[in-house]
Amino acid sequence: MIKSDIGLVGLAVMGENLALNLEQKGYRVSLYNRLRENSPQAVDSFLANKGKNKHFIGTHSPKEFIESLKSPRKILLMIRAGHPVDEMITTLLPFLKKGDTIIDGGNSDYRDTQRRENELREKRIFFVGCGISGGEEGALHGPSIMPGGSDEIKKEILPVLQNIAAHLDDGTPCCSWIGPDGSGHFVKTVHNGIE
């Protein structure tokens, strides 16, 4: 089975558009969304519509999702900030291995990001707090991206994020490594305040 370059959890509008952006830039993307009883499944709906005939792998369980990814795994969470992020980390953790990376692309509180990074570092799993700005159009065509985390993982993650980011006329990506722990989400908080 061909494995994906990156996995994305959360198929609301931002997640869908980032998945399409990643795929358009040449990445194979695995998709997972929390299953909801008695309602159409987001992964199936996406693959039948916007994601049809594209390089996506749809999955329906955390285990299937993680197993569909190349190692070391890169996982982008596009879910609501707060408890849902902790819940998803707990759900994915049993299937992760040393060296895997979780990127939180939501509007998390930077203090939560610092806590999560410390907790996951003990398990030798990287955590990147990543502000993403530009709304649904930006997500599809190129957002401004503000990642922060361990310098150890920077070389693995930054090229992917810079590839899908907006670019200036001179080709400079609108994405820089902000710094350690919660710095990416801290800068996104300041950005939102100014906005």
Contact 97, 76 (CB under 8 A): no
195 is catalytic: yes
Annotated catalytic residue, options 16, 23, 117, 188: 188
Residue 64 and residue 2 in contact, taking contact as beta carbons nearer than 8 Å: no
- 188 tagged catalytic: yes
Strands ordered across the beta sheet of 6-9: 56-58, 29-32, 6-9, 74-77, 101-104, 126-133, 144-148
Strand 144-148 relative to strand 29-32, pairing: unpaired
Longest dimension (CA), the chain: 49
Question: Is the bond preceding residue 84 a cis peptide, omega within 30 degrees?
Answer: no
Catalytic site positions: 188, 195
